Amino acid sequence: MSNDEGKTALILATERGLNGVVQSLLDKGADVNSVDSTGSAPLHHAAAWGYFDTITLLMDNGAQYNVKNKRGWTPFDWAYSVEIRDHLQECATALTEKKPVPVRNIAKSPSGIPKSPSFTQQSNKLDLRTFF
């Protein structure tokens, strides 16, 4: 099920950094590599919004870090900041070397940039009726 932009519940939860919802959806079989109408996967959205912990969660659950959307952009290309790019690279390296994915569960990046440019996590709930 997706909305008119092709966004699944997983993508909507990812865009808001609702990691409890993201984990629940993944536990129930949501496709971690599903794409919206632009060809962007949940990892593209997590990178664009700057959610370190969501990136870690998605990659730890099999998200493809080198997947390209319809414009040919990877999550690395969509990254909100240099710190997000660094984190994507650290996660990709860890997965390649079969090591644990690094966790950066912080409200702000090391440079003080907020995790999200316009959203703050208010709760761990997402009312899907708003989007479908």
Position 44 in a domain:
yes
Position 132 in a domain:
no
Position 129 in a domain:
no
Q: Which domain holds residue 35?
A: 9-116
Burial class (CB in 10 A: 0-12, 13-18, 19+), 78: buried
Dist. CA 49–CA 120, nearest whole Å? 11
Dist. CA 58–CA 47, nearest whole Å? 11
Dist. CA 98–CA 25, nearest whole Å? 24
Per residue in 53-90, pLDDT (tens digit) is: 999 999 999 999 999 999 999 999 999 899 999 999 99
Per residue in 20-29, pLDDT (tens digit) is: 999 999 999 9
DSSP 101: P
Dist. CA 113–CA 106, nearest whole Å? 11
Position 125 in a domain:
no
Q: What is the dihedral of CA 18, 21, 23, 25, to 10 degrees?
A: -140
Position 13 in a domain:
yes
Position 2 in a domain:
no
Would you state the pLDDT for residue 101? 73
Give the pTM.
Answer: 0.76
Number of compact structural domains in the chain? 1
Two tokens at 21? 């919802």
